[in-house]
Chains A and B, each alone.
Chain A
C-alpha cells in the first residue's frame, strides 16, 4: 500500500496548542464521526447489493448437506421462518431499520443474534490480532533499524531479502508450514483451537491460551512484517544520512546510542502510521490464520458465513471490520501527531 513518507515540513512559527481548545477537539472528533457514518452507510449498501446478487440459494446453504431428505413444504417453511422469500426492498428496509437500532439480525449458521456472535468471536480474535500486531510491529521496526544501521552489509541484504520473500509468501501457506513443522512434526505447539481440547475454555490458564496463540499469531505477523521493515529501513537510512545524525556524530555520539537517541523516534513517525494502517491487512490475514489453525475467531466465522450463505452475519462482520479499520487509521493519525511535535495535535483538519 502506498503510504507517503512524512517529509520534513518547514518550521511553523506557532508553538503547538499543548492544551488543545475544546472547539478543536469537537471539530476533530466531529469530522471523523461524520466521515465514519458516511462510510458505514456506503458499506451497508455495497454489502447488501452484493448479497442480493448472489446466486447461492439461501435455503439450501442453510440446510447444508441435509437437503437430501426435505420435501418442498419443508423448504417453504424454512424460507418463511428466515424471511428469505420476501421482496428485496422490504428486506433491505427491515434490515436497515433494525441496524439503526443496533440489531443486526440473527445469524443462520449460529442461530444467535449477529451482535452476540461477533462480540463473542471478536474477543478470541482480539488476542490473536493484538499479539500479531505487536509482534509484526516490533519485529518489523527492529529489523528495519538493524538493516539501516548495517546498510549495504550482508545482514542488511538478507533482512531485505527476507522481508521481500515474506511479502510474496501466501499467509495460509506460511501457516501450513508452521503447522506441519512446529505443531505436527515437532509437537511444540497445539494444532488447533484457542484453548486445550476438552477443557472448559473459561478455565484455560493464560499460559495455555498463549501456547495456543503462538503459531496463529506468528503466521499472522508475517502479513505485517514486510512493509514495516522496508519502510522503516528506508526512513532510517534517510535519517542516518541527514544533518541531524552528522551533528550527533560530531558531538561524539555513535553506535547504538546514536540509533537509540536520534534515529528511533524519527523512524517511528512513519512506522506508527503504517502500523495502524496495517490493521486492515491483519484483519484480512486473520481469516486465513484462523482457518489453518481452526481458531474460533471472527475470521473463521467469516469463512463459515460465506460458505453457508449466512447473509446477516457476513454483513455484520463487514460493518464491524469497517469500524475497526477506520478507528485503527485514526489512531495511527493521532499516534503520529503525538510522536511528531511538528504537527499540532488538534488542528481540526482531517489529515488524510
Chain B
C-alpha cells in the first residue's frame, strides 16, 4: 500500500498532509520580512542627523503626528533615534553573527579534519566558553575591549561561536564517520580533499542555519550590553542606550520612552527570527519536505 501508513493515531489534518503552498507561504514571508528589515536599515541611514538634532523647546513630548514616538529628554525625535538604533543593532548583529559563525566553521572544520588531538582541544575550548554564563562573559570581554562599536561587535562575536561550533563539529564528525567518507579515504583521497568535497557541502546548510539563528541573539546581546553601559557612547542612538535613558524618565510618566523603542526592537528581532525559521525550512534539505 503506497499511501502513507496510517496506523499512527493522533495525526491531525495539517500534520498528515504535506501542504505544497507552505513553500510559497515561506517564500512570501521571507521576501516581506527582508523588505521590512531593508527599510529599517535605509531609514536608519537617512535619519542619522535628525536623530542627533536636539530641540530644547520640545523636550519629552508624547507621541504626536510630528513625532510618532514622541521626543526624549533633549527633544530629539525618538522614532528617528529608534530607527538609527535598530540599523545599528542590525549592523552589529550581522557583523557579530558573521564573525562568530566563521570562527565556528573554521574551528569545527579543523576539529573534524585534523585528527583527535585537535578535536579534543576545540571541544575543551567550547566547554570553557560555555562554562561562564553568557552575559557575564559578554561583560568581561566588553570590559577587556573598552566598549565602543568594535568592542561590542567582538564581545558579541566571541561569546556566540561556541554553540554553533558544537553543532557543526557534531555534524562534521557524523559526516567524517559516514561510510562514503571512509570509502574515499580508502580510495586514497587526502584529508584536505575529503574536507573540501564532503565536509563543506554538508556544513554549509548547517552553517547558514546557525548563522541565521545567531542573529536575534546577537542583536539582543548588543542591546543588553549598551543598556548596562558597556557598549556604545551614551549619546549614540543605540536601542540599549535609549532604553536605559528611558529608565530615568519612568517616574516623570514619559512611558513612551521605554515602551515604543522596546516594541520596535522586539518586532525586528522577531522578524529576523521568523525570517531565519522560514529560510531554514526552505534551504535545509531534510526539512524541505516537512
Contacts and interface: CB of A to CB of B under 8 A. Distances in A.
Interface of A: 1-2, 38-39, 42-43, 46-47, 50-51, 53-56, 151-152, 164-165, 167-173, 176-177, 179-180, 184-185, 240-241, 245-246, 249, 280-281, 283-285, 287-288, 291-292, 302-303, 306-307, 309, 314, 317-318, 321-322, 325-326
Contact of A54 (B15, B127, B143, B216): B143
Contacts of B223: 170, 172-173
Interface string B104-143: 0000000000000000000010011011111111111111
Nearest to A151: B12
Contact of A176 (B15, B262, B273): B262
Interface stretch (B72-80, B91-99, B224-232): B224-232
Contacts of A249: 9
Contact of B266 (A165, A246, A284): A165
Contact of A53 (B124, B130, B144, B262): B144
Contact of B259 (A43, A180, A292): A180
A309 B137 CA distance: 15
B178 interface: no
A42 B273 contact: no
B250 A170 contact: no
21 contacts: A39-B131, A50-B144, A164-B270, A168-B272, A168-B273, A169-B269, A170-B223, A173-B258, A176-B243, A176-B262, A177-B262, A180-B250, A180-B258, A184-B251, A185-B255, A280-B134, A302-B136, A303-B139, A303-B228, A303-B229, A307-B230
Given A172-B227, A177-B262, A184-B251, 20 more contacts: A42-B124, A50-B141, A50-B143, A53-B144, A54-B144, A170-B227, A170-B262, A173-B262, A173-B266, A176-B243, A180-B259, A240-B10, A241-B8, A241-B11, A287-B139, A287-B228, A288-B224, A309-B143, A321-B133, A325-B131
Contacts of A171: 224
B102 interface: no
B11 to A, nearest CB: 8
B146 interface: yes
**What are the 4 closest A-B residue pairs judged by CB atoms, nearest first?**
A284-B135, A173-B262, A50-B144, A283-B133
Contacts, number: 156
Contact of B133 (A51, A55, A168, A280): A280
B247 interface: yes
Contacts of B251: 184
A152 B273 CA distance: 21
Q: Would you call the interface of chain B mostly helix, strand, loop, or mixed?
A: helix
A152 B14 contact: yes
B173 interface: no
A168 B270 contact: yes
Contacts of B127: 39
Contacts of B23: none
B145 interface: yes
B262 A325 contact: no
Nearest to A166: B266
Nearest to B220: A170
B59 interface: no
Interface of B: 8-12, 14-15, 124, 127-128, 130-146, 163, 166-167, 216, 220, 223-224, 227-230, 240, 243, 246-247, 250-251, 255, 258-259, 262, 265-266, 269-270, 272-273
A281 B144 CA distance: 22
B247 A176 contact: yes
Contact of B132 (A53, A167, A321): A321
B135 A306 contact: no
Given A39-B127, A306-B143, A326-B131, A168 B250 contact: no
Contacts of A303: 139, 228-229
Nearest to A56: B146
A43 B131 contact: yes
Contacts of A246: 9
A325 B131 CA distance: 7
B149 to A, nearest CB: 15
A302 B134 contact: no
A285 B224 CA distance: 10
Contact of A170 (B133, B224, B247): B224
Q: Max chain B CB contacts within 10 Å: which of A151, A180, A302?
A: A180
Contacts of B144: 50-51, 53-54
A325 B10 contact: no
Nearest to B261: A173
B166 A56 contact: no
A47 B140 contact: yes
A170 B139 contact: no
A46 B272 CA distance: 32
Contact of A167 (B140, B259, B265, B273): B273
B265 A322 contact: no
Nearest to B125: A42
B136 A318 contact: yes
A169 B265 CA distance: 8
Nearest to A153: B12
A253 to B, nearest CB: 14
B148 to A, nearest CB: 10
